[in-house]
Homo-oligomer: A and B are copies of this chain.
Amino acid sequence: MNDISAQAATLQWNDQGLVPAIAQDWQTGEVLMLAWMNREALELTVREGRAIYWSRSRGALWRKGEESGNVQHLKELRIDCDADTVLMKVEQVGDIACHTGRRSCFYQRLENGEWQVTDPVLKDPQTLYGKS
């Protein structure tokens, strides 16, 4: 899976030129995070074999793990029936996808009408981003 430019053209990019991209652990199936990709991010993801998103807050490409080292190696890339969502199976370096230092970003579960934190912080974010 190298040249993606023709395939990228077939996706249904939204008004901002983006599609949601889900990252799923390729072995456990755990959903790690959802972020966004523009066409360049998708093409680079395939070309470099690692998840590269578009940061909406920073308005820039976001090479996942560029600061933390927690790169997501691409194992498989899928699109859905409407071609408006990307699903990646990834190998999560460091076992931490979330900027809070947790394995997955989906660490809050609804229990008795409240969001409960279910997953532990594996690494202090200060350490994760080299700011300690």
Footprint of B on A, CB under 8 Å?
A: 1-4, 6-7, 10, 20, 22, 24, 28-31, 33-34, 46, 76-83, 85, 87, 98-100, 102, 105-115
Contact = CB atoms under 8 A, between A and B. Distances in A.
A125 B71 CA distance: 40
Contacts of A33: 80
Copies of the polypeptide in the assembly: 2
13 contacts: A7-B113, A20-B34, A28-B29, A34-B80, A76-B110, A77-B110, A78-B106, A78-B110, A79-B106, A80-B105, A81-B98, A83-B108, A85-B106
Contacts of A81: 98-100, 102, 105, 107-108
